[in-house]
Amino acid sequence: MIAIVTDSTCDLPENIVQEYQIRIIPLYIHIGESVFQPGVNLTNEQFLYRLQTSLSLPTTEPPTVEDFQKAYRSLWHKVSDIVSIHISSHLSETYNRAMAAREALLNAPDKPDNFKDIHVVDSKSVSVGLGIMILAAARQAIENKPVEAILKQLDSMSIHHRFYFVVNTLEYLHKGGRIGGARALLGTVLQMKPILTMQEGHLEPLEQVRTKPKAIARLRQLVTDGLAGRTHIHLAIAHSSAPDEAQRLYDDLVAVVEPTYTLLAEVGPIVATHAGPGTLGAAFYSE
């Protein structure tokens, strides 16, 4: 048996987490003098209220090495392997801390004899880009596929999946220090809506569109063009405080590309801290 572990940047809905028995290790979020963990003591609604009323922008922090060790130890008596899939190592130290926990535990004297390994995977993505990878791994684990097959697909998905998203403003990414190559867009006209993407684990600018409706139309085109003639498609739509826009985009794309697997999710507090309200994203992969 194989356990699937991830972190709270995956933005998977709770019902899916429960259905696929996915273990989520939460990151930390600092709001003023208070520290929270999404899914533990902070809901999306509570976070958005605090984001809009706080005098300072929240900050985020990865799980500790001890957090990972505790989670891995809670699983290794029940499974032969753990596949731990995380936010891009270029966006967070989460992956590195998971690796440090793995190195410490594999030589631990209390490691069960039947436990083989902890496989830590850098998704090179975030939010539902990470989410579609986790779900693919979880489906294979439920089907009792060997760990080698799961890792092979994850490697392919980390390279070949695409994740595009529109933000209302670059303010949050700029203040959070996650803007990367998109810094060049900071001086753009106020009404322009940036479209960004993940490239080899880095957040990069793609283009800028004058209005939000045009940006969403362009987002739709990027997905349909990227999936033209493809089959066995994984498709995910994510939003922060934009449920109607997300639902329309989801319905439109499902009708056109006819995906095998779909996901519609709300961006959680960790990602929303850096992307801001009004964000809309689409991730996809074709086998």
Q: What is the distance between the alpha carbons of residues 51 and 168, in angstroms, rounded to a whole number?
A: 15
Question: Please, which pLDDT band fits residue 7 given cuts at 50, 70 and 90?
Answer: very high
What 3-state class would DSSP assign to 84? strand
**Residue 86 one-letter amino acid:** H
pLDDT of residue 191: 61
Q: What is the distance between the alpha carbons of residues 138 and 132, in angstroms, rounded to a whole number?
A: 10
Q: Strand pairing of 193-199 and 202-209?
A: antiparallel
pLDDT of residue 55: 73
Q: Measured between alpha carbons, how far is residue 222 from residues 5, 106, 126, 170, 241 in Å?
A: 30, 43, 18, 21, 22
Q: What is the mean pLDDT of the chain?
A: 90
pLDDT of residue 179: 52
From 150-164, 187-201, 205-219, the region with the lowest mean pLDDT: 187-201
Q: Is the pLDDT of residue 182 over 60?
A: no
Digit-coded pLDDT (tens) for 214-226: 999 999 999 999 9
Digit-coded pLDDT (tens) for 68-103: 999 999 999 999 999 999 999 999 999 999 999 999
pLDDT of residue 171: 66
Question: Please, which pLDDT band fits residue 175 given cuts at 50, 70 and 90?
Answer: low
Percent of the chain with pLDDT over 90: 72
Structure letter (DSSP) for residue 62: P
Which residue has tokens 């693919």? 136
Contact 88, 198 (CB under 8 A): yes
pLDDT of residue 257: 96
